[in-house]
Structure 1
Amino acid sequence: MERWNEAIAAVEEHLDGGPDDTVLAVDELARITGTSEYHFRRVFSALAGMPLSDYVRRRRMTLAAAVIASGTTTVSDVAARFGYGSADAFGRAFRAVHGIGPQEAREPGAVLRSQGRLSFRLTVEGSTPVQYRLVQKPAFRLIGRSTRVPLVYEGPNDAIQAFERSITPEDRARIAGLSDQEPSGVLSVSDAFTEGRADGSRLRYSVV
Structure 2
Amino acid sequence: MLERLNQAMEHIERRLDQEIDVAELARIAVTSEYHFRRLFSALAGLPLSEYIRRRRLTVAGADVLAGEETLLDIAVRYGYGSGEAFARAFRAVHGVGPGEARRTGAALYSQPRMSFRLVIEGSSGMRYRIVAKEEFRVVGRKARVPLVHEGMNPAIVAFVRSMDPETRRRIEGLADQEPRGIVNVADRVADSRTEGTELDYYYGVVTGADVPEDLDVLVVPAGAWVVFESSGAFPQALQYLWRDAFTQWFPSNPSYRSRPGPEISSVVVSQDGSQADAELWLPIERTAS
Same fold (TM over 0.5): yes
Q: How many residues were matched structurally?
A: 155
Please tell me whether residue 68 in structure 1 is matched to residue 77 in structure 2: no
Structure 2: segments with no counterpart, 5+ residues? 127-142, 156-181, 190-198, 204-233, 236-272, 274-289
* Aligned with 2:184 (options 159, 182, 193): 193
Match for 1:7: what amino acid? Answer: A
Match for 1:69: what amino acid? Answer: L
Q: Is the 8 A contact 1:62 1:113 kept in 2?
A: yes
Q: Is the 8 A contact 2:65 2:105 kept in 1?
A: no
Q: Is the 8 A contact 2:17 2:77 kept in 1?
A: yes
Q: What does residue range 73-84 of structure 1 map to in structure 2 within 5 Å?
A: 73-84=69-80
Please tell me whether residue 26 in structure 1 is matched to residue 22 in structure 2: yes
Runs of 4+ in 1 over 3 A off after TM superposition: 148-152, 158-164
Distance in 1 (CA, whole Å) between partners of 2:125 and 2:89 is: 47
- 2:5 is paired with a residue of what secondary structure? helix
Larger fraction in strand: 2
Structure 1: segments with no counterpart, 5+ residues? 18-22, 131-147, 165-190
Please tell me whether residue 113 in structure 1 is matched to residue 109 in structure 2: yes
- 1:201 is paired with a residue of what secondary structure? strand
Please tell me whether residue 9 in structure 1 is matched to residue 10 in structure 2: yes
Larger fraction in helix: 1
Q: What does residue range 46-57 of structure 1 map to in structure 2 within 5 Å?
A: 46-57=42-53
User: 1:198 Cα shift?
Assistant: 4.9
Please tell me whether residue 40 in structure 1 is matched to residue 22 in structure 2: no
Distance in 1 (CA, whole Å) between partners of 2:91 and 2:28 is: 33
- 2:68 is paired with a residue of what secondary structure? coil
- 1:89 is paired with a residue of what secondary structure? helix
Q: Residue in 1 aligned with 2:225? A: none
* TM-score, normalisation: structure 1: 0.65
Q: Is the 8 A contact 1:193 1:202 kept in 2?
A: yes
Q: Is the 8 A contact 1:15 1:82 kept in 2?
A: yes
User: 1:159 Cα shift?
Assistant: 8.8
Please tell me whether residue 89 in structure 1 is matched to residue 91 in structure 2: no
* TM-score, normalisation: structure 2: 0.48
Q: Residue in 1 aligned with 2:119? A: 123
Q: Is the 8 A contact 1:151 1:203 kept in 2?
A: no
